[in-house]
Amino acid sequence: MRRVGARYLGKASVRGRLFNLGQFTGAMKAPGAPARVLGELYYLPSAARALKRLDRYEGSQYEREVADVQLRSTRRARAWIYWLRRVPA
C-alpha cells in the first residue's frame, strides 16, 4: 500500500467468509452471514492509478467491487474490496 501512496484509516470489517489460501487469505461475499471479515481501510489519493496497480497485484482470481464496510468507530463507509471469484478447493 505504501507503493501506491495509500494512507491508513483504520481497521474495518465486511460481511463475508474468509479462506486460508496458504500464503494469503481471500474473502468471499456473504451478505446475510453473521460473520465478518476483518481488514484495513486505506485512502488512495490517486485512486485510478493505484487501483490499476492493485488490480495487477491481486490477479484474475479476485474481482474488485464496492462494498459497505464497518469501521471500529461504528462508522460505515463504502470502499473497494477484492473478493474471490470462486470458492477455493
- What is the arithmetic mean of pLDDT over 28-44? 89
List of domains in the chain? 2-79 (3.10.490.10)
pLDDT in tens, 37-66: 999 999 999 899 899 999 999 999 999 999
Q: What is the pTM of this model?
A: 0.85
- Distance, CA of 65 to CA of 83 (rounded, Å): 7
- What is the arithmetic mean of pLDDT over 69-75? 88
In contact, 63 and 86? CB cutoff 8 Å = no
In 10 A of CB 9, how many CB atoms?
A: 13
